[in-house]
C-alpha cells in the first residue's frame, strides 16, 4: 500500500471480528514498529502481547473500573463518561490482540519513541488489512503496580501505548480533521521561477 493511502485511510477501529491475528503477522507489525526513529537511536521500547481471550477480558474490566474509580470528576469528557459507564462496555472492542508498547527507560524521550513506534505499527496494520486502536482508557491501570504485576512487567518497563489489533468487523468512517493552524514565521525564501 502506498504510504499516502495508509496515512489517509487508517482509522481507529472499534469493532472486530472473532478472527485471531497470527504470530507471524504480529511479528511483522512489530518489525515495522521498530523502524521508527528514536532519540539517539536508543530504541528504548519493548513489546508485550496478549492474545489470551480471558486475560484480555480481565484487563479490559480492571482498566475500565480503575479509570472510573481514579479519574477526577470533570476530567473525562461527557462522552467518555457515558461510554465508560455503559453496561458491558468493552474498552478493547472485542479485539483479539493487545500490543502494549512499553518504554525501557524513563529518559526524556521515552514516550516519544514509543508513540512513533505505535504509529508505525498502526499504519503497517492498516496496510495489512487489519484494524487498530490506541486504548488510552487502559493506560492508567496498565501503569499501576497491579497492572504491571498482572503482565509480569519488571520495574524498569513503563507501559506507554496499548494498541488493540484485529480484523475489522465493519468499515469505519473517516473522522474529519480541522484545517491545520500554521504560523509562518520570518521571511519566506524567494520561490524559483519554475514554481511560478
Ligand X SMILES: Cc1cc2nc3c(=O)[nH]c(=O)nc-3n(C[C@H](O)[C@H](O)[C@H](O)COP(=O)(O)O)c2cc1C
Residue 175 binds ligand X (CB under 6 A)? yes
Q: Which is nearer to ligand X, 47 or 137 (CB)?
A: 137
Applying CB under 6 A, which part among 50-58, 71-79, 96-104, 135-143 lies near ligand X? 135-143
Q: By CB under 6 A, what part of segment 40-59 binds ligand X?
A: none
Half-sphere exposure of 38 (CA within 13 A, CB side): 22
Applying CB under 6 A, which part among 18-26, 131-139, 150-158, 184-192 lies near ligand X? 131-139
**For ligand X, which residue has the nearest CB?**
136
Residue 129 binds ligand X (CB under 6 A)? no
Phi-psi region of 110 (alpha: psi -120 to 50; beta: other; left: phi over 0): alpha
Residue 69 binds ligand X (CB under 6 A)? no
Say whether 91 sits in a helix, a strand or coil: coil
Residue 62 binds ligand X (CB under 6 A)? no
C-alpha gyration radius of the chain? 19
Tell me whether residue 59 is exposed, middle or buried, using C-beta atoms within 10 angstroms of its C-beta: 0 to 12, 13 to 18, 19 or more: buried
Least distance in angstroms from the C-beta of 186 to ligand X: 31
Q: Contacts with ligand X: how many residues (CB under 6 A)?
A: 9
Q: Which of 9, 11, 51, 112 binds ligand X (CB under 6 A)?
A: 11
Applying CB under 6 A, which part among 8-16, 45-53, 98-106, 186-194 lies near ligand X? 8-16
Say whether 98 sits in a helix, a strand or coil: strand
What are 3's three cell numbers? 504510504
Close Cβ partners of 22 (under 8 Å, ≥ 6 residues apart): none
What are 99's three cell numbers? 500490543
What is the binding site for ligand X (CB under 6 A)?
Answer: 11-12, 14, 133-137, 175
Amino acid at each position: 500500500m502506498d504510504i499516502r493511502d495508509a496515512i489517509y485511510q487508517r482509522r481507529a477501529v472499534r469493532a472486530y471480528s472473532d478472527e485471531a491475528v497470527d504470530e507471524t503477522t504480529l511479528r511483522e507489525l512489530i518489525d515495522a514498529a521498530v523502524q521508527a526513529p528514536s532519540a539517539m537511536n536508543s530504541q528504548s521500547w519493548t513489546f508485550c502481547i496478549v492474545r489470551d481471550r480471558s486475560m484480555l477480558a480481565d484487563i479490559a474490566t480492571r482498566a475500565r473500573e480503575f479509570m472510573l474509580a481514579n479519574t477526577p470528576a470533570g476530567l473525562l469528557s461527557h462522552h467518555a463518561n457515558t461510554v465508560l459507564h455503559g453496561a458491558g462496555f468493552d474498552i478493547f472492542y472485542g479485539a483479539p490482540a493487545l500490543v502494549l508498547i512499553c518504554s525501557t527507560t524513563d529518559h526524556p524521550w521515552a514516550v516519544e519513541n514509543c508513540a512513533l513506534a505505535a504509529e508505525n505499527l498502526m499504519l503497517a496494520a492498516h496496510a495489512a488489512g487489519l484494524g487498530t486502536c490506541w486504548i488510552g482508557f487502559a493506560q492508567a491501570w496498565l501503569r499501576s503496580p497491579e497492572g504491571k504485576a498482572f503482565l509480569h512487567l519488571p520495574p524498569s518497563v513503563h507501559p506507554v501505548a496499548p494498541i488493540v489489533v484485529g480484523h475489522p468487523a465493519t468499515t469505519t468512517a473517516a473522522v474529519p480533521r480541522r484545517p491545520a493552524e500554521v504560523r509562518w514565521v520570518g521571511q519566506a525564501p524567494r520561490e524559483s521561477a519554475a514554481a511560478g
